[in-house]
């Protein structure tokens, strides 16, 4: 296995994801969008899962345009799913569509998340708490469950959860978001252990680190975003985990960026 620095700096060989079917949640914006585009460039067929259809249509068009550069157009399908509101039938429908269309799933990236209200635990709003825990944790579990038959049908399936530094060491005011990411780390470990030895499905988590996206702006409105890396520049660990070079790696929690000094606490709302 590569060391942490090599994984962070990983540059995928051309077409390394050729023929792989990869589903990404929150594919319409930020890190999910950049990852969908990068994976399509490497030959993957994408299932673009997300809440805002116009954003999914935009990334879908951008992926389709890759083909007009002369190569074969990468294939992508749009799967609208609001992880806050989706019911069991919506998950079942998506899973049935994936199985019917592709017969398997080689990658599942749980990227969508809700930041929610930044506030001390003492003042935690219960509705916000439930929404954040549901979108960031329970919905990822539900989606994994229904997609497991497709993942098991792959010869090398990779599930990626998205964690955060506040999901490894608690930090004041990050409330439900931080707790949800701690739970995602736990889900990653438990699922990886359960699936190792009896399946070809590997399960890992990735912490993108401070990245220039809408969520980061929401958390740190006063920060100079120009100092942060763009989503497209932090994708090494995602692309390594989705490709054949990481076959057999499971139960890890990786970082996209070298550790940096802790930022000042976000202002309580």
Check binding of 30 to ligand NAP (CB under 6 A).
Answer: yes
| Residue of the chain from 204, 213, 250, 257 that contacts ligand NAP (CB under 6 A) | 213
- Closest to 140 measured CA to CA, from 54, 214, 205: 205
Check binding of 9 to ligand NAP (CB under 6 A).
Answer: no
Which of the stretches 65-73, 79-87, 197-205, 239-247 binds ligand NAP when contact is defined by CB under 6 A?
A: 79-87
Check binding of 28 to ligand NAP (CB under 6 A).
Answer: yes
Distance CA 178, CA 55 (A): 26
Distance CA 30, CA 3 (A): 26
β-pairing verdict for 107-110 and 76-80: unpaired
Check binding of 112 to ligand NAP (CB under 6 A).
Answer: yes
Residues 6+ apart with CB under 8 A from 85: none
CB of 56 to ligand NAP, least distance (A): 8
Decide whether 12 or 143 has the Cβ nearer to ligand NAP.
143
Both tokens assigned to 180:
């949800």
| Residue of the chain from 12, 31, 63, 249 that contacts ligand NAP (CB under 6 A) | 31
CB of 236 to ligand NAP, least distance (A): 15
Widest distance between CA atoms in the chain: 57
Check binding of 162 to ligand NAP (CB under 6 A).
Answer: yes
**Alpha helices in 86-243, H assignment, sequence order:** 88-102, 126-133, 139-152, 175-195, 214-219, 236-242
Check binding of 75 to ligand NAP (CB under 6 A).
Answer: no
CB of 167 to ligand NAP, least distance (A): 8
Per-residue CA distances from 14 to 30, 38, 108, 214, 239 (Å):
23, 11, 21, 30, 11
Check binding of 109 to ligand NAP (CB under 6 A).
Answer: no
| Residue of the chain from 76, 210, 234, 241 that contacts ligand NAP (CB under 6 A) | 210
Decide whether 143 or 151 has the Cβ nearer to ligand NAP.
143
Both tokens assigned to 109:
């990236």
Catalytic residue of the set 10, 91, 177, 238: 177
**Alpha helices in 103-159, H assignment, sequence order:** 126-133, 139-152
Say if residues 212 and 259 touch (Cβ distance below 8 Å).
no
Decide whether 74 or 167 has the Cβ nearer to ligand NAP.
167
For residue 177, indicate whether it is catalytic. yes
Binding site for ligand NAP (CB under 6 A): 25-26, 28-32, 50-52, 55, 82-84, 111-114, 135, 162, 164, 208-211, 213-216
Q: Which of the residues are catalytic?
A: 177
């Amino acid at each position: 296995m590569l060391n942490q620095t090599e994984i962070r700096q990983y540059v995928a060989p051309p077409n390394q994801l050729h023929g792989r079917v990869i589903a990404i949640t929150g594919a319409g914006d930020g890190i999910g969008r950049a990852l969908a585009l990068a994976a399509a460039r490497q030959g993957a067929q994408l299932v673009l899962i997300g809440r805002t259809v116009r954003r999914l249509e935009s990334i879908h068009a951008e992926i389709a345009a890759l083909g007009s550069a002369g190569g074969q157009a990468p294939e992508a399908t749009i799967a609208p799913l609001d992880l806050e509101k989706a019911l069991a039938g919506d998950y079942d429908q998506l899973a049935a569509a994936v199985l019917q269309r592709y017969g398997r799933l080689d990658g599942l990236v749980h990227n969508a998340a809700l930041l929610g209200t930044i506030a001390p635990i003492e003042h935690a709003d219960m509705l916000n708490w439930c929404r954040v825990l549901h979108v960031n944790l329970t919905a990822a579990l539900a989606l994994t469950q229904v997609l497991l038959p497709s993942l098991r049908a792959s010869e090398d399936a990779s599930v990626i959860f998205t964690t955060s530094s506040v999901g490894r060491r608690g930090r004041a005011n990050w409330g439900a978001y931080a707790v949800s990411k701690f739970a995602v780390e736990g889900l990653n470990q438990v699922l990886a252990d359960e699936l190792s030895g009896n399946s070809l499905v590997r399960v890992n988590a990735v912490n993108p680190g401070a990245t220039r996206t809408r969520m980061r702006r929401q958390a740190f409105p006063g920060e100079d975003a120009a100092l942060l890396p763009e989503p497209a520049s932090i994708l090494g660990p995602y692309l390594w985990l989705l490709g054949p070079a990481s076959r057999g790696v499971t139960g890890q929690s990786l970082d996209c960026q070298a550790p940096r000094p802790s930022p000042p606490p976000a202002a309580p709302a």
